[in-house]
């Protein structure tokens, strides 16, 4: 057998293998980029609502709930590490009482989700005059919704206070609310033909200082 031909076949095989591996890496990178963009897009849609709700908690148009005796001078009504309830006026009508807004995450697994970490994030708006509840169930890959509370503006991240539940004297001490939101992709990304894959994750966190908690 001609040694030169054998060497040529070996080199050609190595080149084909290298090209195939490069194509796989390019496809994986492209898939990861696409999934990352989708996950971040879902994250942005949710945070847009949070960025509107949380800074405005307690507002009754140009008045704070501390000025409305019928609401017992409350802004927050419940504060736990996975749920928060607060008053906010959504109607822009000074003659209407503020709505009661609830954000909470469910512990239940979404049976239809491919990612077992996915949970349902709820935003509930209750009209206090009619008792009607408008519930929005967010299932776009949410895996974590965590809340921390601070009784001092600018406190270190580890100095958060124990979630006060419904005790008004503790709720009145809250000055800042720190929100952590995580989303993961539906599908896993595999770097190799075999082995465990990984979910693409996007995390957003922000600390809010609502003016009505600092009056």
Is 70 exceeded by the pLDDT of residue 66? no
* Cα(99)–Cα(124) distance, integer angstroms: 10
Residue carrying the six token digits 């009508």: 93
Q: What is the pTM of this model?
A: 0.82
What residues are paired with 122 via a beta bridge? 104, 137
What pLDDT does 119 receive? 95
**Residue 136 lies inside a defined structural domain of this protein:** yes
Is 60 exceeded by the pLDDT of residue 194? no
- Residue 61: pLDDT band (50, 70, 90) is low
Is 90 exceeded by the pLDDT of residue 138? yes
What pLDDT does 108 receive? 87
**Residue 192 lies inside a defined structural domain of this protein:** yes
Is 70 exceeded by the pLDDT of residue 166? yes
What pLDDT does 136 receive? 95
**Residue 25 lies inside a defined structural domain of this protein:** no
What pLDDT does 74 receive? 75
**Residue 22 lies inside a defined structural domain of this protein:** no
Is 90 exceeded by the pLDDT of residue 149? yes
What residues are paired with 182 via a beta bridge? 144, 203
- Reading the block at residue 161, the tokens are 């206070």
**Number of structural domains found in the chain:** 1
Regarding predicted confidence, which is higher, 20 or 34? 34
Is 80 exceeded by the pLDDT of residue 86? yes
How far CA 138 is from CA of 43, 87, 88, 104, 114, in Å, comes to 11, 21, 20, 10, 16
- Which of 26-35, 54-63, 173-182 shows the lowest per-residue confidence on average (mean pLDDT)? 26-35
Regarding predicted confidence, which is higher, 24 or 123? 123
pLDDT over 90 percentage in the chain: 40
**Residue 18 lies inside a defined structural domain of this protein:** no
**Residue 16 lies inside a defined structural domain of this protein:** no
What pLDDT does 190 receive? 75
- Residue 53: pLDDT band (50, 70, 90) is very high
How far CA 64 is from CA of 59, 80, 88, 154, 162, in Å, comes to 5, 22, 9, 23, 25
**Residue 149 lies inside a defined structural domain of this protein:** yes
* Cα(213)–Cα(215) distance, integer angstroms: 6
Is 80 exceeded by the pLDDT of residue 43? yes
pLDDT over 70 percentage in the chain: 76
180-189 pLDDT, tens digit each: 999 999 888 8
Q: What is the mean pLDDT of residues 41-62?
A: 89
**Residue 6 lies inside a defined structural domain of this protein:** no
- Which domain does 160 fall in, by range? 33-213
Q: Quote the Cα angle for 110-117-190, to 5°.
A: 120
């Amino acid at each position: 057998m001609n040694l030169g031909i054998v060497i040529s076949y070996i080199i050609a095989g190595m080149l084909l293998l290298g090209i195939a591996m490069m194509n796989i890496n390019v496809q994986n990178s492209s898939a990861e980029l696409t999934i990352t963009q989708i996950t971040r897009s879902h994250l942005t849609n949710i945070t847009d609502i949070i960025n509107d709700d949380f800074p405005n908690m307690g507002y009754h148009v140009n008045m704070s709930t501390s000025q409305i005796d019928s609401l017992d001078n409350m802004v927050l009504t419940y504060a736990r590490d996975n749920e928060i309830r607060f008053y906010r006026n959504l109607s822009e009508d000074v003659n209407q009482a503020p709505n009661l807004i609830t954000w909470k995450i469910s512990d239940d697994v979404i049976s239809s989700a491919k990612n077992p970490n996915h949970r349902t994030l709820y935003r509930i708006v209750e009209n206090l005059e009619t008792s009607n509840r408008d519930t929005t169930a967010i299932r776009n890959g949410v895996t974590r919704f965590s809340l921390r509370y601070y009784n001092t503006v600018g406190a270190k991240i580890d100095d958060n206070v124990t979630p006060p539940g419904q005790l008004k004297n503790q709720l009145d001490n809250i000055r800042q609310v720190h929100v952590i939101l995580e989303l993961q992709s539906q599908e896993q990304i595999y770097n190799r033909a075999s082995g465990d894959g990984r979910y693409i994750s996007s995390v957003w966190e922000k600390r809010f200082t609502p003016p009505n908690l600092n009056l």
